[in-house]
Amino acid sequence: MNLNGVILPVITPFINDKFDAESYKQLLKHYSDKDFSAIIPCATTGETSVLSDYERDEIFDITVSNVEKPIYFGIGGNHTSEVINKLSFVEKYDVEGILSVCPYYNKPSQKGIFEHFLKISENTTKDIIIYNIPYRTGVNLSNETLLRLAECKNIIGVKDSCGDISQSLELIRNKPENFSVLTGEDILFYTNIVNGGDGGILASSHLFTEDFTDIYKNVKNNDHKSALEIWNRLSTIIPNLFIEPNPAPLKYILNQQGLIKRPELRLPLVEISDELKEKIKIVGLK
């Protein structure tokens, strides 16, 4: 079965620049009965780049102890050997796999990206979701390269944030039967699933969980009218969550809702502006 539906890339709460384990457990409890297909800690929305190895281990322990859904940990980087070394964090847990971003900053060729993920595939028994997000990494994983990687048994899907809708639709048309194309662009969730994609890894599903899962179910049941009614309302709100860097707007709202103690982020990310706070009130996100 393909990985499909709505997947939560859960935030990492902080308090006084330390991982807030109590708030994190509260979040996991809050989402435990929601209809997510999987949960991903330590992804971009989880501010993985500013977490220590000790914190990552603690997050893994708490997640595995409190989540009964499939779990994919965020494990990526631009030094292939170091990424392989980090797999030891995951191999000791009974979880499904990892979400691994394309190598960033050093801008490898398509051959380099292919070899990077091939080495990761060869060094883990876990499933791998590749994350293609060129506006963060500086390099776009081509569909040709991705489909070659899809031939690896444990590379099961992609979080597609390529930024080119024609590339995304071409990928959906040509994807193998057992390979999942999951959008990482929240605003393209509806477009993904009505064109034959498999769902999304969606930061905004922290807030609109039932809406996203209802849209997915309705499309799969061929009730496109109901799905579109929900989507037309949701699609006017989602862009407000990304006016300033994710997950700052999310953390502000989750704090307002009492789900986390503080809306704190780690530098270089900062809390949202007063202007965005006012906008969030106006559109009814608060």
Strand partners, 101: 131
Secondary element (H or E) of residue 129: strand 127-132
Q: Count H helices, E strands: the chain?
A: 12, 10
* 105 CB neighbour count, 10 Å cutoff: 11
What tokens does 199 get? 């769902």
> In this structure, what are the phi and psi dihedrals at residue 155, rounded to the nearest 5 degrees?
-95, 100
What length is written for the chain?
Answer: 286
Q: Report the largest interatomic distance among the alpha carbons of the chain, rounded to a whole angstrom.
A: 50
Q: Which of 159, 175, 251, 277 is catalytic?
A: 159
* Amino acid, res. 247: P
93 belongs to the catalytic site? no
Rounded to whole angstroms, how far apart are CA atoms 12 and 27? 10
Q: Which of 31, 131, 216, 252 is catalytic?
A: 131
159 belongs to the catalytic site? yes
Angle between the 53-66 and 21-31 helix axes, to the nearest 10 degrees? Answer: 30
Q: What residues are annotated to the active site?
A: 131, 159
